[in-house]
Amino acid sequence: MEECFFDKVLPNGNVVFKINDLPYETSLKGILIPETRVETAHIFLSERATDIPLRCTFTNSGNLNIVFVEYLAWRDKSGEVWKDLGETLVQQKLAKWE
């Protein structure tokens, strides 16, 4: 798991994350951001995920692919609660499961 930061959603539905200040274009495994939702997804993530560290789990198959991205949803008495970014995008109807 590695810390990464949201940068932008591209017109093709791929997402750019920054890792050590370097941009990486990727798609979220199992998630498709339709062209009709790209702008809305970008606004949603810009408002909620910019400058917030995310936890990214990677797999390497020639290209850098992000398998799983989590964000800190809240903290309570029992500690930090992390949620799946892809699942949140689907729940917000900004993406769909592939």
Find residue 18's DSSP bridge partners: 5, 23
- Structure tokens of 79? 């500690």
- Structure tokens of 10? 């591209």
What pLDDT, in 10s, does the model give residues 9-65? 999 999 999 999 999 888 888 899 999 999 999 999 999 988 889 999 877 655 556
The answer to whether the pTM exceeds 0.85 is yes
Please tell me the distance from the alpha carbon of residue 30 to that of residue 98, in angstroms, as a whole number.
5
- Structure tokens of 28? 């979220």
The pLDDT assigned to 59 comes to 73
Domains delineated in the chain: 2-97 (2.40.50.90)
